């Protein structure tokens, strides 16, 4: 069973990954400049954030194809950047994580990020897409 500290560390790692990947998607700064802002974080937090960032980047095409297949009537390019990044992190954790994160957990974490960082409808949108990606069996 996950400890409270472990859950908080993972949540903080996801926040960092979101912020770094969002900055990179916007073309604002380089990878090193962006990640260097988080050197004060605990090593475990940094390590998982880095795993998420590198994993999303390594599997970006497949992840975006998966997300795009579940965004009814929306092309992936029409999805808000912050929502697209949140979905990418969750799909990476569900499909490529070692070990994979269960859909319900990944979706819950993604919805929380969407509520905090996204628009008014982001939480519902992210939840719906991830339900499609994860299928009904998880």
Q: What is the pLDDT of residue 108?
A: 95
pLDDT per position as a tens digit, 93-129? 999 998 889 999 999 999 999 999 999 999 999 999 9
Give φ, ψ of 94 to 5 degrees.
-75, -40
pLDDT surpassing 70 at residue 138 = no
Q: What is the pLDDT of residue 2?
A: 58
Q: What is the pLDDT of residue 4?
A: 80
Q: What is the pLDDT of residue 76?
A: 86
pTM of the model: 0.90
4-134: CATH homologous superfamily? NusB-like (1.10.940.10)
pLDDT surpassing 60 at residue 137 = no
User: Quick one: which of 11, 10, 8, 19 has its CA closest to 85?
Assistant: 19
pLDDT per position as a tens digit, 38-81? 778 899 999 999 999 999 999 999 999 999 999 877 788 889 99
Are the C-beta atoms of residues 49 and 41 closer than 8 Å to each other?
yes
Give φ, ψ of 69 to 5 degrees.
-70, -15
Are the C-beta atoms of residues 9 and 47 closer than 8 Å to each other?
no
Domain edges within the chain: 4-134
Half-sphere exposure of 37 (CA within 13 A, CB side): 11
């Amino acid at each position: 069973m996950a400890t409270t500290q472990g859950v908080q560390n993972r949540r903080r790692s996801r926040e960092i990954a979101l912020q770094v990947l969002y900055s990179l998607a916007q073309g604002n700064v380089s990878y090193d400049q962006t990640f260097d802002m988080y050197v004060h974080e605990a090593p475990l937090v940094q390590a998982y954030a880095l795993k998420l960032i590198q994993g999303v980047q390594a599997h970006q095409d497949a992840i975006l194809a998966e997300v795009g297949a579940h965004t009814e009537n929306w092309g992936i390019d029409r999805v808000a950047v912050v929502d697209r990044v949140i979905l990418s992190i969750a799909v990476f954790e569900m499909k490529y994580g070692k070990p994979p994160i269960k859909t319900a957990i990944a979706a819950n974490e993604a919805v929380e990020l969407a509520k905090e960082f996204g628009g008014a409808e982001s939480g519902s949108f992210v939840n719906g897409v991830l339900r499609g990606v994860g299928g009904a069996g998880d």
